[in-house]
Amino acid sequence: MQTAIVTGGNRGIGLEICRQLAAQGVRVLLTARDAGKAEAAANGLPGEVIAHPLDVTDGASVDALKAFVVKQYGVAEILINNAAILLDDGVDVLSVDVETMREVVETNVYGPLRICEAFIPLMKERGYGRVVNVSSEAGSLTNMTNYAPAYSMSKAALNALTRMIADSLRGYKNIKVNAACPGWVRTEMGGSNAPRSVEQGAASILQLATLPENGVSGGFFRDGKALAW
Ligand code: NAP
């Protein structure tokens, strides 16, 4: 049985990823920064879903999750870096507060970096891994606009991180690291006017989480189609 770590699994797209991975027979570590919310979300899902606290901005919290994974399962074959914050919708880049930038990058970029640094070495020992960084087309430099500057910059940096890690792992043919855009999805972040359901948003991520051995690495996709970086 494979084990998956999902960050920000208590609601939105992360919760749906947990639901679908568990339905596919994967053991899911549903993580959330609030332990009570992780428990409540995990209890609502069928399958083997284990709640565990994880604040992606806190190195000690990442270390505690790693110790748990190593002791219980040895490795997590699937890692979904889903947790993120959007604090500057509607803010112009020339008036964005640098502290906001820092806070968003701390969660959306350094969070996934910390987690990759903690868990990919275990994948290297096993010679298998699927890492999906949940990004956004807002992070595409080709299509970059003035929308939510801190958020967009953080997703561009997450895309860069995806490329770098994939390159670092080029000698490990069965470890795949990709970025996914879920599209505009009805969640707390996406709002109620978004056209996509969480099921539709999660589909791009699930596909990359379950890639076959000859699957791609180092790409940026939505609905299975490559997006411009
Ligand atoms: P959401 O409903 O706002 O959920 C975000 C999740 O991240 C929550 O579980 C939240 O936990 C968690 N989180 C935030 N900071 C955290 C931290 N420091 N440590 C651990 N967890 C933390 O967002 P969503 O719409 O499901 O978005 C999921 C992913 O899709 C994000 O990466 C987002 O950027 C991306 N995305 C979404 C859309 C969209 O339209 N919705 C579009 C493009 C990309 P709390 O409940 O504790 O706050």
pLDDT in tens, 144-180: 999 999 999 999 999 999 999 999 999 999 999 999 9
**From the alpha carbon of 58, which atom of ligand 1 is closest?**
18
Span 30-58, average pLDDT: 98
Q: Report domain extents, the chain.
A: 3-226
pLDDT score at 218: 98
- Asked if residues 51 and 41 have their Cβ atoms less than 8 Å apart, the reply is yes
Span 199-203, average pLDDT: 98
pLDDT score at 217: 98
What is the rounded average pLDDT for all residues in the chain?
A: 98
Q: What architecture (CATH level 2) is domain 3-226?
A: 3-Layer(aba) Sandwich (3.40)
Per-residue confidence band for 62, with pLDDT thresholds at 50, 70 and 90: very high
pLDDT score at 190: 98
- Asked if residues 129 and 112 have their Cβ atoms less than 8 Å apart, the reply is no
How far does residue 193's CA lie from ligand 1's centre (Å)? 17
How far does residue 94's CA lie from ligand 1's centre (Å)? 25
pLDDT score at 37: 98
Q: Determine which one of 73, 110, 128, 151 is catalytic.
A: 151
pLDDT score at 51: 98
What is the residue with the minimal CA distance to atom 12 of ligand 1?
A: 8
How far does residue 171's CA lie from ligand 1's centre (Å)? 32
What is the residue with the minimal CA distance to atom 19 of ligand 1?
A: 55
**Ranges of H-type helices in the chain:** 12-23, 35-43, 59-72, 98-105, 111-126, 149-168, 198-209
Angle at 56 between CA 52 and CA 57, to 5 degrees: 135
Ligand 1 pocket, residues with Cβ under 6 angstroms? 7-8, 10-14, 32-34, 37, 54-57, 82-85, 107, 134, 136, 181-182, 184-185, 187-190, 194
Our CA dihedral for 107, 109, 114, 117, rounded to 10 degrees, sits at 160
Phi/psi for 177 (5° steps) reads: -125, 115
Span 96-121, average pLDDT: 98
Phi/psi for 147 (5° steps) reads: -65, 130
pLDDT score at 116: 98
Pocket of ligand 1, candidates 5, 62, 81, 82: which has the most ligand atoms within 8 Å of its Cβ, to mutate? 82
Q: Two tokens at 129?
A: 């891994």
* Residue located via tokens 């990709």: 178
Active site residue 110: no
How far does residue 95's CA lie from ligand 1's centre (Å)? 24
